A and B are shown apart, each in its own frame.
Chain A
Amino acid sequence: MDALPPSSGRVLHLGAGLIQQFHQILARYMEDSQVRYSALLEESGTVCAESGDAALRDAGETGALAAGAFAALQAVARRLGDGTFEGLFHEGKVRQFSLVPVTPQFMLLSVFEAPVRFGVVKVCAAKAVARLQEQIETMPITGRGVVEGGLPGDFAQEAAALFRQA
């Protein structure tokens, strides 16, 4: 497998301003393409920003599975000798979805249904991806969670017994 940027131990900061930018980009993308739902996912499936049909949002399972499917298909493509991976497309009877890479650590999920066509979604997504890339470049990634104006207090100290049996 290709060497990937070591993202473990790093902390990604999504500030309110950046999220607002993401939302604006997604809103414009939804208007252009008429998709029902779109989301910017981080490589582990964390939803960084989402827009559209509230019924399609969830506690994280969809994001994790989508990110897993994406990573698996990308690895298959690599092993079969194709280094370029343009994402995946599911053509369901009722609903279609696509996942396209934004940067090596982010992907764009789009859910749509007839009469919206994949070709149109693809073209509009390419524009949205370019805009998202610009914003992602400005995103702070640090080695720890405490930044100026960030989280106060000692997280770990208070986390002594986070999980207990119900």
Chain B
Amino acid sequence: MAVINHDKREVTFKLVYCGTPMGGKTANLSYIHRNMGAERRGELVSLATAQDRTLFFDFLPVHTTSIHGYRTKFMIYTVPGQVGYSATRQMVLRGGDGVVFVADSQLDRMEENLVAWQGMQRNLADNGMAFAELPAVLQCNKRDLPDAAPLPYLEYLLNAGPRRLAVFPACALSGVNVFATLNALAQEVLHRFHYGSASPGPRSA
């Protein structure tokens, strides 16, 4: 839930990176953390196993310079992708103001992509959150790998419903479209914040 602190002149939003197990959610946050000026971000907190699998969540607070005198803060979370962690994902998603779905482009990950996508819809529904109205963007990650599926195929799988999301082909390791993804979501969230409804249409990369 967005919080406006009229006293500190600060608005806070919660963004959540969901997606396919090992799809690169944490990699997105660590790229943002490494490449954003220290004055614009806090520390990256990762609750992970020794093998770097996200156990609970990653968390990174970032903020923009002020817009109309209000400082805008985004608290960015990732959920754990592992199959058995649905309850944890549901918990982290709660109160989210927008989501990025990070899909894994590798051809042999299509079933996992679909399962994770459906799982996210279920988690949102169980939280009483309507996906149709939630600011969201789709990131097709790992485009650098030779066995990456063609984009139209991923879109057919994940983005053929009544609602078309903005799509970003990305490589979270080298940072291709990592900031573009974050910007697109931030923009949608702010649009909804301002107008009280989802933005008119997707603006993909």
Chain A residues packing against B (C-beta within 8 Å):
1, 3-16, 19-20, 42-46, 48, 58-61, 64-65, 68, 71-72, 75, 79, 105, 141, 143-146, 150-156, 158-166
Contact = CB atoms under 8 A, between A and B. Distances in A.
B95 A61 contact: no
Top 3 A-B pairs ranked by shortest CB distance? A144-B196, A59-B42, A6-B128
Contact of B126 (A1, A61, A79): A1
A163 B133 contact: no
Q: Is the interface of A mostly helix, strand, loop or mixed?
A: loop
Most A-side CB within 10 Å, residue of B67, B70, B88, B134: B67
B39 to A, nearest CB: 9
Interface residues of B, number: 62
Q: Is the interface of B mostly helix, strand, loop or mixed?
A: mixed
Nearest to A79: B87
A155 B2 CA distance: 14
A144 B195 contact: yes
B14 interface: yes
Contacts of A152: 68
Contacts of B96: 8
B42 A60 contact: yes
Nearest to A65: B45
A8 B134 contact: yes
Interface stretch (B102-110, B161-169, B178-186): B178-186
Given A10-B1, A19-B6, A64-B59, 19 more contacts: A6-B127, A14-B5, A20-B7, A42-B95, A44-B95, A48-B5, A60-B75, A61-B45, A71-B91, A72-B56, A141-B1, A143-B196, A144-B194, A145-B194, A153-B67, A155-B72, A156-B199, A160-B183, A163-B32
A16 B40 CA distance: 25
Contacts of B187: 156, 159-160, 162
Given A4-B94, A7-B95, A156-B194, A64 B2 contact: no
Given A60-B61, A144-B193, A12 B36 contact: no
Most A-side CB within 10 Å, residue of B7, B56, B77, B95: B95
B129 A46 contact: no
B142 interface: no
Nearest to A42: B3
Interface in B1-30: 1-7, 11-12, 14
Interface in B175-205: 175, 179, 182-183, 186-187, 190-196, 199
A127 B147 CA distance: 61
B59 A155 contact: no
Contact of B179 (A6, A150, A164): A164
A148 B175 CA distance: 41
B110 to A, nearest CB: 28
